[in-house]
């Protein structure tokens, strides 16, 4: 009887210390990160079409279009993989490149407001809708990633999982997304003056 009790007790002890939960949570974070990257890639793929459409109607605003193109190039060159998620500096560099692209896209949409014929063009309206949908998807993917990071970070810091996290896996906290644009916490003011 004792022969069976010892392995059973060992199995229960290991199961209770998070030996399976920690890697499960880590994989959930990696999957959520892959969703974030997927949405950024969708946005990067969409932008050349948007820029080409706008160029046809607003050639005089080439400075804005060039800024969008350069920001897209920068955003696609700045990459981060799932192994770098514990490095806050790497996450911050990636976020800064994505924020630069978001800013350029905002300037592009302001440019569109100046040209009624561009706003009414069916191709542009379709691309604008796609871009808006993509930005919403990026927001949702970031939120889901932050929730997965929260669950993982909580798991590796709470007993009994912290035993497996520290001694078996050497787990480190993962950095969540944070607003990196100055004033991002304040809603923009819309004025038609």
Domain-wise residue ranges, the chain: 21-169
Task: Label residue 192 by pLDDT band (50, 70, 90).
Answer: very low
Per the structure block, which two tokens stand in for 60?
């005089």
Residue 119 confidence (pLDDT) above 80:
no
Q: What is the pLDDT of residue 116?
A: 60
The residue among 21 and 18 whose pLDDT is bigger is 21
Task: Label residue 193 by pLDDT band (50, 70, 90).
Answer: very low
- Mean pLDDT score across all residues of the chain: 75
Q: What is the pLDDT of residue 146?
A: 92
Of the ranges 55-59, 82-86, 89-93, 175-179, which one carries the lowest mean pLDDT score? 55-59
Q: What is the mean pLDDT of residues 78-83?
A: 79
Separation of first and last alpha carbons in the chain: 85
CATH placement of domain 21-169: 1.20.1440.20
CA dist 136 and 143 (Å) reads 11
CA dist 93 and 179 (Å) reads 12
Could you tell me the pTM of the whole model?
A: 0.60
Residue 184 confidence (pLDDT) above 60:
no
CA dist 16 and 13 (Å) reads 5
Q: What is the pLDDT of residue 188?
A: 47
CA angle 86, 89, 33 (to 5 degrees): 50
The residue among 72 and 140 whose pLDDT is bigger is 140
Q: What is the pLDDT of residue 63?
A: 64
CA dist 176 and 154 (Å) reads 13
Task: Label residue 38 by pLDDT band (50, 70, 90).
Answer: confident
CA dist 60 and 122 (Å) reads 20
């Amino acid at each position: 009887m004792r022969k069976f009790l010892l392995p059973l007790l060992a199995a229960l002890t290991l199961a209770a210390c998070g030996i399976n939960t920690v890697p499960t949570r880590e994989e959930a974070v990696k999957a959520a990160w892959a969703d974030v990257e997927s949405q950024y890639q969708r946005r990067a793929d969409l932008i050349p079409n948007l820029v080409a459409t706008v160029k046809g109607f607003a050639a005089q605003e080439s400075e804005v279009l060039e800024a969008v193109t350069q920001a897209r190039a920068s955003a696609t060159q700045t990459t981060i993989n799932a192994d770098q998620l514990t490095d806050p500096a790497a996450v911050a560099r990636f976020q800064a490149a994505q924020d630069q692209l978001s800013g350029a896209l905002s300037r592009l949409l302001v440019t569109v407001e100046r040209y009624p014929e561009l706003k009414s063009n069916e191709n542009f309206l379709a691309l604008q809708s796609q871009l808006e949908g993509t930005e919403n998807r990026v927001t949702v993917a970031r939120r889901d990633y932050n929730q997965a990071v929260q669950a993982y970070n909580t798991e590796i810091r709470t007993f009994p999982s912290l035993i497996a996290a520290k001694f078996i896996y050497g787990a480190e906290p993962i950095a969540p997304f944070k607003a990196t644009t100055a004033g991002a916490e304040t809603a923009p003011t819309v004025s038609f003056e």
